[in-house]
């Protein structure tokens, strides 16, 4: 294991450092005893390389993994191959107690692999068991090294180690909504990871650990700054700092991207206009992009939020989104950079349904964007709600590559307090059939380029990382970071497989640990939907911070008011998006539109998204809408209560520190699930005028009590930073 000096002091590799800190902490508390569960702070995430307890299994692995060959066409060393060697040495030493012999070779590369792909094979060389990791690029070898370690960590049979894999999506990015002040918009795990004031001189070792974690799940891009962009990041003092981060990330295959504030030519360039068709503005952006590439030769490109929620954009100059995106694309094209132009646009002065506005603006522009422009819609047409239908733009713009944007941070799902494993939500979107080019035209196949034969592809997740020691706030929230990376690499993976992997790598291979935790993870998103927004309800949270219920809010601009979305009245509940209403259902392909637009065919999980349903309407259960709504809210509460009991049974099987932290959060989640249930049902009951059905607990307080709750300084709230 190689050690290096940082600022004239000995720097231990992150995993050793974490182990040392853990051991010192245990010694301090006097609990470092044989067989005792070791206290942990979650810093190591899923890259925990602790000794495998099963001695026969450990011996079987050691017999095969004592010799590893890293094979590339050149066979020459590089920082990326050095990272692969270090990871294998650290991982196999920790897991198996061996010091593997790791060599480089080019003679065994005899097949063409997809870009970033790899092959792991088991060979007998000179009568010695050997594992060979082969790839056409060094980064493929690194991905293969992490995969090999994952197989060992999760206890897979040795024969499973023979595998060939490649990512299905080329650009797999984290979007950090981090401000230059180090606050994080919709961030619930502390401050930004990027210490801009200390950069470029001090490069926190945590940056390397971030890159390791990302590379271990195949993430290959990082947008460093918030979509509500600050133009200062494009100035020379900050580009030096960006370059320092890029240098740290590069060996791990991660390219940096930045958000571009559309008005930057005015704000930092001294121009009087940012009109994208003005030759002077075009020249300014070309020069700025050239400057960026001088600092970061492998710069990925720009993410842009324009003409949305007050952000400047091309429409300020009566130009189209295509005009604005193409101007930036032309500046980036000579360097191989891309533009990711967000489709999250809506205008309170437009009388049409807010959920329709992105489609209305972007669908007519299909085919007008440069080849290196991605239009980036969110997974649903509104705004990262606990449940939405898939965005109608997927499948509607065949001549434009689309990049899917999901939210890893839990803006609308209880921040870092509530457990909500989001892989099932993302799979729900990815597996949705758009029918754009016939059956099988899933969202996943639209964004990976296979439906419309686009050469490039992209997916982005709004990150949930911060300076909290465990990275993501809730000890179980890192499962969402992990799940995003795994699905970005292979969208055919199941939520169950991902949950099982993460649990084994993060906690234990003990079935009595794996089974209850994975069960909780897989049930959690649906439970949150049930106690927050069941049956297709949406956007009924409290103002601004989006934490807690607020279905009564009606004093904001119209398209921010919950009453705009649930439309509760004496007749019923829900937003009518059928052909008789706003006809948002009509933005989908005909087969999908028929299902969503028909009350009898619409999935009940989206019923109130697409229909205003009478309170006495009978659902498939035979119950009325009102009774079914109430029972869904109660079911969400009941589910969380079961987690509290299931987690309590894990005491002694996992480390006490994480056990106690999760236990505290689950108890709070159960209390807040009741808050959601009681507040929403009391409010909707003022319209339904119906009693709570049997099986639903009576509210603990009055509606006025819940209306009087006002939270202050909720983490991640932009207006309070």
Q: Which two tokens stand for residue 224?
A: 């460093």
Cα–Cα separations (whole angstroms), residue 418 to 33, 82, 410: 33, 39, 9
Active site residue 309: yes
Active site residue 456: no
Distance from C-alpha of 424 to C-alpha of 447, rounded to nearest angstrom = 18
Active site residue 433: no
Q: Which two tokens stand for residue 326?
A: 């193409």
Beta partners for residue 103, in sequence order: 69
* Structural contact between residues 293 and 299, judged by C-beta atoms closer than 8 angstroms: yes
Distance from C-alpha of 465 to C-alpha of 485, rounded to nearest angstrom = 14
In sequence order, the 6+-apart residues with CB closer than 8 A to the CB of 495 are 421, 423, 424, 427, 483, 522
- Give residue 641's region: left, alpha or beta (phi > 0; psi -120 to 50): alpha
Enumerate the H helices of 395-510 as residue ranges. 423-430, 443-447, 478-489, 495-506
Distance from C-alpha of 554 to C-alpha of 570, rounded to nearest angstrom = 17
Q: Is the dihedral of CA 382, 386, 390, 394 positive or negative?
A: positive
Angle at 417 between CA 413 and CA 422, to 5 degrees: 40
Distance from C-alpha of 346 to C-alpha of 337, rounded to nearest angstrom = 27
**Identified catalytic residue from 383, 431, 490, 598:** 383
Distance from C-alpha of 445 to C-alpha of 437, rounded to nearest angstrom = 11
**Identified catalytic residue from 54, 309, 352, 700:** 309
Q: Are strands 613-614 and 572-573 parallel, antiparallel or unpaired?
A: antiparallel
Distance from C-alpha of 322 to C-alpha of 401, rounded to nearest angstrom = 13
**Identified catalytic residue from 411, 526, 639, 657:** 411
DSSP 697-719: PPPSS-HHHHHT----S-TT-GG
Enumerate the H helices of 268-351 as residue ranges. 279-295, 321-332
Q: Please give the helix or strand (H or E) that residue 146 lies within, else none.
A: helix 138-153
Q: Which two tokens stand for residue 450?
A: 């296979």
Which residues in 12-73 belong to E strands, given as ranges? 67-71
* DSSP single-letter state for residue 142: H
* Catalytically annotated residues: 309, 383, 411
């Amino acid at each position: 294991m190689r050690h290096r000096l940082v600022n004239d002091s000995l720097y231990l590799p992150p995993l050793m450092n974490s182990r040392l800190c853990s051991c010192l902490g245990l010694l301090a508390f006097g609990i470092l005893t044989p067989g005792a569960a070791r206290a942990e702070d979650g810093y190591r995430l899923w890259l925990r390389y602790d000794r495998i307890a099963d001695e026969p299994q450990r011996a079987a692995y050691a017999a095969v993994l004592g010799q590893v060959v890293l094979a590339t066409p050149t066979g020459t060393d590089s920082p990326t191959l050095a990272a692969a060697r270090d990871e294998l040495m650290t991982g196999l030493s920790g897991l198996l107690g061996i010091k593997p012999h790791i060599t480089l070779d080019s003679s065994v590369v005899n097949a063409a692999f997809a870009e970033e792909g790899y092959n792991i094979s088991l060979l007998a060389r000179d009568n010695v068991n050997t594992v060979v990791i082969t790839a056409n690029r060094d980064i493929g070898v690194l991905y293969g090294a992490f995969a090999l370690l994952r197989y060992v960590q999760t206890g897979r049979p040795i024969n499973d180690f023979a595998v060939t894999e490649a990512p299905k999506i080329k650009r797999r990015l984290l979007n950090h909504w981090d401000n230059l002040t180090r606050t994080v918009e919709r961030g619930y795990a502390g401050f930004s990871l990027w210490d801009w004031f200390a950069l470029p001189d001090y490069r926190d070792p945590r940056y390397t650990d971030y890159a390791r974690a990302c590379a271990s799940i195949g993430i290959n891009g990082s947008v460093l700054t918030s979509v509500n962009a600050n133009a200062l990041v494009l100035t020379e003092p900050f580009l030096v700092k960006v370059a320092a981060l890029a240098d740290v990330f590069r060996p791990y295959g991660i390219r940096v991207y930045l958000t571009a504030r559309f008005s930057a030519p005015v704000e930092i360039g001294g121009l009087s206009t940012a009109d994208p068709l003005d030759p002077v503005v075009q020249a300014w952006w070309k020069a700025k992009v050239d400057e960026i590439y001088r600092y970061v030769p492998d710069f990925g490109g720009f993410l842009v939020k324009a003409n949305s929620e007050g952000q400047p954009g091309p429409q300020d100059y009566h130009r189209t989104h295509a005009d604005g995106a193409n101007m930036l694309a032309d500046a980036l094209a000579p360097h191989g950079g891309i533009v990711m132009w967000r489709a999250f646009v809506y205008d309170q002065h437009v009388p049409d349904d807010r959920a329709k506005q992105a489609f209305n603006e972007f669908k007519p522009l299909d085919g007008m964007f440069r080849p290196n422009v991605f239009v980036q819609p969110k997974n649903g047409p509104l705004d990262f709600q606990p449940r939405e239908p898939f965005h109608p733009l997927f499948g509607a713009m065949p001549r434009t590559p689309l990049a899917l944007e999901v939210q890893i941070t839990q803006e609308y799902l209880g921040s870092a307090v509530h457990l909500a494993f989001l892989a099932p939500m993302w799979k729900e979107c990815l597996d949705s059939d758009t029918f754009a080019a016939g059956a099988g035209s899933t969202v996943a196949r639209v964004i990976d380029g296979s439906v419309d034969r686009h050469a490039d592809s992209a997916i982005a997740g709004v990150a949930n990382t911060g300076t909290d020691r465990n990275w993501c706030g809730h000890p179980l929230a890192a499962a969402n970071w992990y799940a995003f990376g795994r699905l970005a690499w292979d969208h055919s993976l199941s939520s169950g497989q991902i949950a099982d992997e993460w649990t084994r790598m993060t906690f234990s291979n003990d079935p009595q640990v794996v089974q209850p935790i994975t069960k909780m993870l897989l049930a959690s998103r649906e439970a949150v939907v049930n106690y927050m927004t069941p049956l297709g309800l949406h956007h009924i949270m409290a103002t601004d911070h989006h934490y807690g219920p607020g279905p009564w809010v009606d004093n904001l601009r119209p398209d921010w008011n919950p009453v705009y979305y649930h439309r509760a009245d004496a007749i019923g509940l829900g937003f009518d998006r059928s052909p008789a209403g706003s006809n948002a259902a009509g933005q989908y392909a005909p087969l999908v539109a028929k299902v969503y637009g028909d009350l009898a065919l619409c999935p009940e999980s989206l019923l109130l998204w697409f229909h205003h349903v009478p309170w006495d309407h009978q659902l498939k259960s035979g119950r009325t809408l009102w009774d079914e709504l109430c029972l869904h809210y109660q079911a969400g509460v009941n589910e969380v209560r079961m987690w509290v009991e299931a987690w309590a049974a894990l005491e002694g099987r996992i480390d006490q520190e994480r056990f106690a932290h999760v236990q505290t959060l689950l108890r709070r989640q159960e209390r807040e699930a009741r808050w959601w249930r009681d507040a929403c049902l009391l409010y909707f009951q003022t319209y339904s005028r119906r009693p709570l059905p049997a099986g639903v607990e009576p509210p603990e307080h009055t509606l006025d009590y819940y209306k009087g709750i006002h939270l202050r300084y909720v983490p991640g709230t932009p207006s309070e930073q």
